[in-house]
Structure 1
Amino acid sequence: MASYNRQKQQLGDAIVQQQLDAPLGTTASLLGSNDPDEFIEGLGAVQALNSTRADALAEFGETSKELKNRRAQLKDRKDALDEAKQDADAKRAQIRKKYEAAKAQLARLDALEQKKFNDSDVDLDFDPKASGRAKTAINFALAQLGDPYVYGGTGPNSWDCSGLVMKAYAAAGVSLPRVVGPQMSAGKSVPFSALQPGDLVAYASMSHIGIYLGNGKVVHAPRPGKSVEITSLSGFSVAARVG
């Protein structure tokens, strides 16, 4: 934009100055000369001036075209951002609706049922048969049992599901992305029939993740209101091996 304004100003100044110096135009002034040498020299100067001005006009035209293209690109990007925001708002509204429905269902339970629903299982009655980095990651995750779930939590005293997985494997020297989908993509897909302790297990929607312990058990950070716990494989349907 600055280049466009500068070129526009220079061309405007040149046109104004030309009108001040030769109101009838440089060519008309030249034709009024009676000196042949002056006429020839002046003719060359006019040609040079016209060439310079043509170059400036061409440059200005290219700058103007580029500016127009950039404005079009910015408009396209703004339209795309507006559309993405609308999609995000719609998804947020859907999530909020599901949350309110789940909250209403929970409120209908009696106190004993609510306590059972919110209690986290932190007891493990077997030793996971893992070794190496998988063992280190499992040990780290198990050490966080009882820590509260906090959305966006990456420790040291609160966790969300992917934050726990990321830090557990970081303790084992394995760098994983921050969120569920990329974490699963960072590993090698394995069928549930071949699950080994230390494998990552996730929901098909990529909305939740945990670390497999063996014996059909998973350590994970479940949801708000609960703590890092041990659960079954129920709900988990895809697996990946890292490290």
Structure 2
Amino acid sequence: MFNGRTTLRSVVVGVAVAALIAPACAAHADPSPEEIQAQIDKGNNEVELIVEQYNKVNGDLAATQTALTSLEADLVPLQSRMDAAHADADSVAVNAYKTGGGNLRTMSLVLGAGSSDAFFDRVGTLEQISRSQQQDLAAYTSAKTTFDAQKQRLNETLAAQNRQKAELETRKKQIEGDIARLDEMQRKADAAAKAAAAAAKKPAPTTNTNTNPGAPPKVNGAAGKAVAYAWAQRGKQYVWGAAGPDTFDCSGLTMMAWKAAGVTLPHNAAQQYAKVRHISRSQLQPGDLVFYNNLGHVGIYIGDNQIIHAPNSRTVVKVSPIDIDTLYGYGRP
């Protein structure tokens, strides 16, 4: 749930990022590349949590819309029966008017019976029509009362979810601004590292390289299909809220990877963790999901202590060591 604590965290991150980007005053030395990288990592962790909240509210909205549509569909047959009952009642009223009144018409039907059996048949038929109409009316009234209550509840839920989405959308520019500042910090860190390497006459270290050597892991079954899908997405850009085909965020990648294997997962790391079977690290097999950052990030295990994941907007879908971030847990779809 999106709350004030999350808002405060993101504001603190934004302030911390801005403070690092601003020119250093005379009393303080410029931050080291390591310090900048630490701030980048912290900022990306905060952004990931916001992204996953955005994905969750989108999923919740879709579920609520589906429930409303289903509720409307459930009322259709009851409405049809009620319309038919009203049509029958209208027909009886018209006939009664034409023949001089409902009671006279009913009496003539009964008295016109040629035998006692016919008499009771006609009385029974009239009673059956009346009971059927009453039952239809009672069923419709009960169903309509339940429908109205459920629809009101769903509409209230929908309104709350739309407000939550609007809040997240409003913060989208702020998040993108934070990411832009992180990118600027990274460029400064790279420049500092290159300058230090040049001074020491050593090759400068590179950051965020997409080193994905070798052929795709050989994995059988559904897990193999999930791994193969994720492997094929390497090099594609991270975009928050995206689930392919050309861009992904972390839970969008794992969702689509397992969709290729015939398994449905939500577009949210926390909801994926709630749905999968939890396992230990020693039980990990290719295709299993690895969760990080208090359920703010997820990747897909490919063996040899490596995952494929969509890390953040500064890089692309790539292979990384499993211990790339603070581990939360492991799950098998």
Q: TM-score, normalised by structure 2?
A: 0.44
Q: How does 1:78-227 map to 2 (within 5 A)?
A: 86-97=4-15, 99-100=17-18, 101-102=39-40, 103=182, 106=186, 107-110=188-191, 112=194, 116-123=206-213, 125=214, 127-227=216-316
Distance verdict in 2 for CA 1:157–1:127, change over 3 Å: closer
Q: Which amino acid in the other structure matches residue 172 of structure 1?
A: A
Q: Residues 119-170 of structure 1: CA distance to partner in whole angstroms, max 9, x if unpaired?
A: 22232x3653422111101111111010011111111100110000001111
The structure-2 alpha-carbon separation of the partners of 1:225 and 1:189, relative to structure 1 and needing over 3 Å to count, comes to same
- Pair 1:129–1:98, CA change in 2 (3 A): farther
1:176/1:117 Cα in 2 relative to 1: closer, same or farther (>3 Å)? Answer: same
Matched residues, number:
159
- The one-letter code matched in structure 1 to 2:284 is L
Unmatched 5+ stretches in structure 1: 1-80
Q: 2:158 aligned with 1:240, yes or no?
A: no
Q: CA deviation at 1:228?
A: 0.5
- CA spacing shift, 1:193–1:119, aligned 2, 3 Å: same
Larger-gyration structure (1/2)? 1
Q: Check the 8 A contact 1:122/1:146 in 2, yes or no.
A: no
Change (3 A) 1:92 1:191: same
Instruction: Give me the whole-angstrom Cα distance separating, in 2, the residues matched to 1:98 and 1:120.
Output: 28
Rounded Cα–Cα distance in structure 1 between residues aligned with 2:305 and 2:16: 28
C-alpha change, 1:164 and 1:117, in structure 2 (3 Å) is same
Q: How big is the shift at 1:225? A: 1.7
Structure 1 120/150 Cα, relative in aligned 2: closer, same or farther at 3 Å?
same
C-alpha separation between the residues in 2 aligned to 1:202 and 1:88? 19
Q: Secondary structure at the match of 1:212?
A: strand
Residue 129 to residue 209, structure 1, CA distance change in 2 (3 Å): same
Structure 1 or 2: larger helix share?
A: 2
Query: Which runs of structure 1 show a deviation greater than 3 angstroms over 4 or more consecutive aligned residues?
Result: 84-88, 97-101, 111-115
Q: Aligned letter for 2:263?
A: V
Mapped partners of 1:166, 1:99: distance in 2:
31
Q: Which amino acid aligns with 2:190?
A: L
Report SS of the residue matched to 2:319: strand
Aligned to 2:79: none
Q: Please give the alpha-carbon distance, in whole angstroms, between the structure 2 residues aligned to 1:90 and 1:222.
A: 23
Deviations 1:158-190 (A, max 9, x none): 011000000111111100011101111111111
- What's the Cα RMSD here? 2.5
2:264 maps to amino acid: S
